[in-house]
C-alpha cells in the first residue's frame, strides 16, 4: 500500500456524502433494506447503539427515571387533539387501515375490505399523545406527580430522502415523557435532560456540542420551548444530536392530564419530552471516521481490543492461539469506566493483512498483533485506531495489560480534542450580510465539500429574516446558545437591532 492510498474511496475531501456511505459499508455497520427508507443495522452498528443505550440508560436512571413501554399504534383521534403537533407530523405518518388480509377473486393477497378499521391507527412518529392519554388516567392528585418515564422504542416518520442512520423512515430511539406539578419543575427537567445529552455527547461520543434553544420556526410541533445539542461534523455542517422539549400545558390540555392541587383546585399538569436516536451513530461516523474507515470512541465500542494471532505455519498455530487467549483473559480482567475491557480474538483463517485492515475499517480502538516471534520475545505489537495504520508499538505483554485502560482513555480524549479543534477552527463571528453570504457559499472556499462552518451572528428575531436566509443559502439558526453574552448588534440580514448572537450553519 502506498502513502496516498486509503481504504475508503472516495476520500472525505473528494466526496463527503459518498465517503459516508462507503464507511458504513466498509465498517459493516448497516445496509439499505428492501423496504425503501428502512435500514438493516448490522451487528457492529447495533453493538455501538447498544453501548450508547447502556450509557444513556444509566444516566436516565441516575436522574430518577424509569423505563416503560407504550403501544406502537396511536388512534388517529389522539394525534388530532393537539393542532400544531398533528400539522407538524401529518406529512410523514404511516397509517394502518385494515386488520386482516384475504385472497381476492384473482388470487391476489389484499387487505380485506370487510376488515377496515373504524378508526385508522397511526404508527407512532413520537408518543406524546398516546403517553399523555395514559398519564391522564394515572394522575388524580398532586401526590401522583412527578411522573418520570423513558421508553426505548422504534418510531416511523415517512422519509422521502433517506440516508443511513441520519434520516430513515423507521429509526430506534428513546423518548422521555414527564409530567409535573409546576411550570418551574418541568422547565428544570427540560434543562436537566439536555444537560444529560450534552454530557453524554462529550464523554461517550467524544463530540463537543453547543447547547441552546431552538427558534420558534425550528421548534418541536406543539412545544413551548425546544432545547437542543448541536454538533459539527467534518464537512462543517451541523447535526442536531438531541432535543429536550418543554411542552407547557399544551399536551396536558389535549390529553386532559388534570390533577387536584395542594389547594384543592383542578389544575393541568406541565409536561416535557426529550429524545435521541440512532442518528447519534451517524453523528459519530461523520465526526470521527477517516479515509481508512470508522473510528469508534472507546466508550461506545462493542469491542475495545481485537487480538490478531499471526501464525503462518501450522506447527506454531496452537501456541500462538493459546497466547492470544491468555492475553485476552488478562485484558478482560481490567475495567474501563466500571465495566470489563471487551476483547475479541480474531482466529479466522484469512490473511493477516486483510484481517488487520478489516478491523481498521471497523474502527476498533486497539489492535494487537501476536505471532511466533513475539512469543519468543514476550512482546506484542499494539496499534491505536486514532493513529496512522502503520504506527505500531512493540510492548511487553505485562505492560499492555497494565496500560490498556489508560490507552483507551487516551484515544477517547484524543478524539474529543480533534473534534473540538476542528469545530473551533470553523467557528467565527460574522457581522455583515456580504461576509455571511460569502462564508456559506462553498465555491468560495475552493473546496466544494466545505459548507462554511458555524457562524455566530446577530439576528433580530424576525421569522422573515430567518426564512430568507434559509431559502437563499440552506442555512438555519441551529440554536440560540445558552452561553451567548448580551451584546448589542445589528441583524446580519436586515440590520435591525439585535441583543445577542445566534449560531447559523448548514445542517443534516
Ligand atoms: Zn433581521
pLDDT range class, residue 416, cuts 50, 70, 90: very high
CA of 496 to the centre of ligand 1 (A): 6
pLDDT tens, residue by residue, 320-348: 999 999 999 999 999 999 999 999 999 99
CA of 454 to the centre of ligand 1 (A): 18
- The SS3 call for residue 317 is helix
pLDDT tens, residue by residue, 469-485: 999 999 999 999 999 88
pLDDT range class, residue 114, cuts 50, 70, 90: very high
pLDDT tens, residue by residue, 93-107: 999 999 999 999 999
CA of 464 to the centre of ligand 1 (A): 7
CA of 459 to the centre of ligand 1 (A): 5
CA of 495 to the centre of ligand 1 (A): 6
pLDDT tens, residue by residue, 364-383: 999 999 999 888 899 999 99
pLDDT tens, residue by residue, 179-232: 999 999 999 999 999 999 999 999 999 999 999 999 999 999 999 999 999 999
Q: What is the average per-residue pLDDT within 274-279?
A: 98
Q: Which residues of 134-151 are buried (b: 16+ CB within 10 A; e: fewer)?
A: bbbeebeebebbbbbbbb
Q: Provide the 8-state DSSP code for 280.
A: H
pLDDT range class, residue 449, cuts 50, 70, 90: low
CA of 467 to the centre of ligand 1 (A): 10
CA of 466 to the centre of ligand 1 (A): 7
DSSP 128-148: HHHHHHHHHHH-SBGGG--EE
pLDDT range class, residue 447, cuts 50, 70, 90: low
Torsional class of 280: left (φ above 0), alpha (ψ -120 to 50), beta (otherwise): alpha
Alpha helices in 426-462 (DSSP H): 433-439
pLDDT score of 448: 60
CA distances to 177, 243, 366, 384, 439 from 325, in Å: 46, 44, 16, 20, 54
pLDDT tens, residue by residue, 61-78: 999 999 999 999 999 999
CA of 434 to the centre of ligand 1 (A): 14
pLDDT score of 375: 86
CA of 57 to the centre of ligand 1 (A): 41
- The SS3 call for residue 216 is helix
CA of 393 to the centre of ligand 1 (A): 56
What distance in Å separates the CA atoms of residue 12 and residue 29, rounded to the nearest whole number? Answer: 18
CA of 461 to the centre of ligand 1 (A): 6
pLDDT range class, residue 450, cuts 50, 70, 90: low
CA of 210 to the centre of ligand 1 (A): 23
Asked whether the predicted pLDDT for residue 1 surpasses 50, the reply is no
Quote the percentage of the chain above a pLDDT of 70.
97
CA of 491 to the centre of ligand 1 (A): 5
pLDDT range class, residue 311, cuts 50, 70, 90: confident
CA of 462 to the centre of ligand 1 (A): 6
User: Which candidate, 190, 199, 192, places its Cα nearest to that of 244?
Assistant: 190
pLDDT score of 63: 98
CA of 480 to the centre of ligand 1 (A): 15
CA of 487 to the centre of ligand 1 (A): 15
Asked whether the predicted pLDDT for residue 6 surpasses 80, the reply is yes
pLDDT range class, residue 352, cuts 50, 70, 90: confident
CA of 135 to the centre of ligand 1 (A): 42
pLDDT tens, residue by residue, 36-68: 899 999 999 999 999 999 999 999 999 999 999
More confident position, 311 or 308: 308
pLDDT score of 2: 43
Q: What is the mean pLDDT of the chain?
A: 95
User: Which candidate, 455, 432, 436, places its Cα nearest to that of 502?
Assistant: 455
CA of 89 to the centre of ligand 1 (A): 28
CA of 469 to the centre of ligand 1 (A): 10
CA of 494 to the centre of ligand 1 (A): 4
CA of 268 to the centre of ligand 1 (A): 37
Asked whether the predicted pLDDT for residue 91 surpasses 70, the reply is yes
CA of 406 to the centre of ligand 1 (A): 50
Quote the percentage of the chain above a pLDDT of 90.
89
User: Which candidate, 211, 193, 87, places its Cα nearest to that of 150?
Assistant: 193
Q: What is the average per-residue pLDDT within 337-361?
A: 95
pLDDT score of 441: 87
pLDDT score of 458: 97
Number of CB atoms found within 10 A of residue 125's CB: 20
CA of 422 to the centre of ligand 1 (A): 29
Report how far apart the first and last C-alpha atoms of the chain are (Å, whole number).
34
Q: Cell numbers 448589542 correspond to what residue?
A: 488
pLDDT range class, residue 444, cuts 50, 70, 90: low
User: Which candidate, 493, 489, 296, places its Cα nearest to that of 385?
Assistant: 296
CA of 167 to the centre of ligand 1 (A): 31
CA of 497 to the centre of ligand 1 (A): 8
CA of 246 to the centre of ligand 1 (A): 26
CA distances to 297, 420, 503 from 206, in Å: 7, 9, 21
Amino acid at each position: 500500500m502506498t502513502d496516498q492510498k486509503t481504504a475508503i474511496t472516495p476520500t472525505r475531501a473528494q466526496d463527503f456524502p459518498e465517503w459516508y456511505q462507503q464507511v458504513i459499508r466498509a465498517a459493516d455497520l448497516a445496509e439499505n433494506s428492501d423496504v425503501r427508507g428502512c435500514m438493516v443495522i448490522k451487528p457492529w452498528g447495533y453493538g455501538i447503539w447498544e453501548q450508547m443505550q447502556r450509557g444513556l440508560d444509566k444516566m436516565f436512571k441516575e436522574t430518577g427515571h424509569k423505563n416503560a413501554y407504550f403501544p406502537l399504534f396511536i388512534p388517529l383521534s389522539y394525534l388530532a387533539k393537539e393542532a400544531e403537533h398533528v400539522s407538524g407530523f401529518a406529512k410523514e405518518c404511516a397509517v394502518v387501515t385494515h386488520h386482516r388480509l384475504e385472497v381476492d377473486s384473482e388470487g391476489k393477497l389484499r387487505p380485506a375490505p370487510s376488515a377496515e378499521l373504524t378508526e385508522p391507527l397511526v404508527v407512532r412518529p413520537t408518543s406524546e399523545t398516546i403517553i399523555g392519554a395514559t398519564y391522564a388516567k394515572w394522575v388524580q392528585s398532586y401526590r401522583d406527580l412527578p411522573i418520570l418515564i423513558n421508553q426505548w422504542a422504534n418510531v416511523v416518520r415517512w422519509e422521502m430522502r433517506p440516508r443511513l442512520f441520519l434520516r430513515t423512515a423507521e429509526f430506534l430511539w428513546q423518548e422521555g415523557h414527564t409530567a409535573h406539578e409546576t411550570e418551574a419543575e418541568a422547565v428544570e427537567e427540560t434543562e436537566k435532560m439536555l444537560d444529560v445529552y450534552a454530557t453524554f455527547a462529550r464523554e461517550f461520543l467524544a463530540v463537543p456540542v453547543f447547547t441552546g434553544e431552538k427558534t420558534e420556526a425550528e421548534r418541536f410541533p406543539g412545544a413551548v420551548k425546544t432545547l437542543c445539542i448541536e454538533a459539527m461534523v467534518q464537512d462543517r455542517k451541523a447535526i442536531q444530536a438531541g432535543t429536550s422539549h418543554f411542552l407547557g400545558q399544551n399536551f396536558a390540555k389535549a390529553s386532559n392530564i388534570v390533577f387536584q392541587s395542594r389547594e384543592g383546585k383542578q389544575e393541568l399538569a406541565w409536561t416535557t419530552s426529550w429524545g435521541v436516536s440512532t442518528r447519534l451513530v451517524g453523528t459519530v461516523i461523520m465526526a470521527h471516521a477517516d479515509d481508512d474507515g470508522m473510528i469508534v470512541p472507546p466508550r461506545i465500542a462493542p469491542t475495545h481490543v481485537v487480538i490478531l494471532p499471526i501464525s503462518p505455519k501450522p506447527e506454531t498455530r496452537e501456541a500462538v492461539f493459546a497466547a492470544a487467549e491468555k492475553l485476552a483473559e488478562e485484558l478482560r480482567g481490567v475495567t474501563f469506566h466500571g465495566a470489563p475491557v471487551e476483547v475479541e480474538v480474531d482466529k479466522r483463517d484469512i490473511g493477516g493483512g486483510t484481517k488487520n485492515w478489516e478491523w481498521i475499517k471497523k474502527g476498533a480502538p486497539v489492535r494487537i498483533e501476536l505471532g511466533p516471534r513475539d512469543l519468543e520475545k514476550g512482546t506484542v505489537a499494539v496499534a491505536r485506531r486514532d493513529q496512522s495504520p502503520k504506527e505500531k508499538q512493540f510492548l511487553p505483554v505485562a505492560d499492555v495489560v497494565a496500560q490498556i485502560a489508560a490507552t483507551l482513555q487516551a484515544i477517547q480524549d484524543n478524539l474529543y480534542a480533534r473534534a473540538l479543534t476542528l469545530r473551533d477552527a470553523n467557528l467565527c463571528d460574522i457581522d455583515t450580510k456580504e461576509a455571511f453570504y460569502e462564508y456559506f457559499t462553498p465555491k468560495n472556499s475552493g473546496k466544494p465539500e466545505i459548507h462554511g462552518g458555524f457562524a455566530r451572528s446577530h439576528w433580530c428575531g424576525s421569522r422573515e429574516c430567518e426564512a430568507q436566509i434559509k431559502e437563499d443559502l440552506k442555512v438555519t439558526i441551529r440554536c440560540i446558545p445558552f452561553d451567548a453574552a448580551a451584546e448589542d448588534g445589528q441583524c446580519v440580514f436586515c440590520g435591525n437591532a439585535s441583543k445577542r448572537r445566534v449560531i447559523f450553519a448548514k445542517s443534516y
